[in-house]
Structures are given as C-alpha cells and as structure tokens.
Amino acid sequence: MNLLIINGPNLNLLGKRETSIYGSEAFEVYLNKLIKSYPEDVLSYFQSNSEGEIIDKIHNEGFSVDGIILNAGAYTHTSLAIADAISAIKSPVIEVHISNVHKREQVRHKSFLSPVCRGVIAGFGLDSYRLAIEAFKLSE
Ligand code: DQA
C-alpha cells in the first residue's frame, strides 16, 4: 500500500515535548522502525506547523495515495478547513492521536475531523500510527 502520514503542529517536537503525555521517542526514530516493519509498503511522511501546508499536502496526495494517517495536533479541535480538505479528496483518512484525547481537557474532546474520517485511533502512544496502518491493511 501507498500510505501517507501527516503530522500537524508541534509534533516535530515529539521526544522533547511533554514527554509524560507524548513519550520520549522522536517521531523519525519510530518512523524508521515502521518502515522496516512494512517492507512491501510505501510509507511517506510530512510534518508541518502550518494549517495551509497541511491542506495543500492533503490536496496534492489525496487523489493518489491509498490512505492518509493524519494527526492534525491541535488543528483537530479547531479546523473546519482541514475537515473540508478531507471531504474534498478521494483517499480515505484515519485520524490518529498519541494521547487519549477523551481522557484529557474538554476542549480536546471535540474533533472537526472525526465526522469526515474513516475512523479514529487515539491513546496508544506512537503505536496509534501502527494501528492505523493495520486498519488500512484490513480493508485492502
Ligand atoms: C494530539 C492531541 C491534541 O489534542 C494535541 O493538540 C496534540 C497532539 C495527540 O496526538 O495526542 O498536539 O493530537
């Protein structure tokens, strides 16, 4: 499968940022392990702190990849524009979160993205991304 992982704002700081919530592993280290676990698949990765760049990436890849795994960070809770971008494309999107957002502050319980995503995986640390790959593989 050809899958794209998109990480949104502040997720470039994984491994350094609020490690009690998000863990101490840098995303690039985890990603290398993922790539090794799925040698037959193409896993590409994009991170941006900017809403517009995330939308452009969804537009540019969302008619060709088999699926997008999207952790939009805090934009999850604010961005109707990212939700509209997901609605506009053909590739299915799985929303992922490292933390269990439903165990956290009320403001993190609302997602603009969930209604337009195939499904949501939250609370399994970085393995939320692996579970999203497995979910795409189940529907292959
Ligand atoms: C997050 C949860 C969001 O509420 C937060 O703003 C993030 C990370 C997660 O992966 O748990 O930046 O998406």
Q: Look up the CATH number of the domain holding residue 126.
A: 3.40.50.9100
**Which pair of structure tokens corresponds to residue 40?**
């037959």
- Ligand 1 centroid to 69 CA: how many Å? 14
Contact partners, residue 20, CB within 8 Å, separation at least 6: none
- Ligand 1 centroid to 42 CA: how many Å? 25
Q: Tell me, what's the pLDDT at 140? A: 82
Whether the CB-CB separation of 22 and 96 falls below 8 Å is answered with no
Residues in the chain: 140
The ipTM, to two decimals, is: 0.99
- Which entry of 22, 30, 75, 129 is annotated as an active-site residue? 22
Is the pTM higher than 0.80? The answer reads: yes
Average pLDDT value for residue range 62-85: 98
Q: Tell me, what's the pLDDT at 119? A: 98
- Nearest atom within ligand 1 for CA of residue 71: 13
DSSP conformational letter for 7: E
Query: What's the rounded Cα separation, in Å, for the pair 84 and 78?
Result: 12
Residue with tokens 């961005």: 79
Whether the CB-CB separation of 79 and 113 falls below 8 Å is answered with yes
- Whether residue 33 is predicted with pLDDT greater than 90 in this model: the reply is yes
User: How many structural domains does the chain have?
Assistant: 1
Q: Tell me, what's the pLDDT at 67? A: 98
**Which pair of structure tokens corresponds to residue 71?**
């952790």
The residue type found at 101 is V
Find out whether 84 is annotated in a ligand binding site: yes
Domain containing residue 65: 2-138
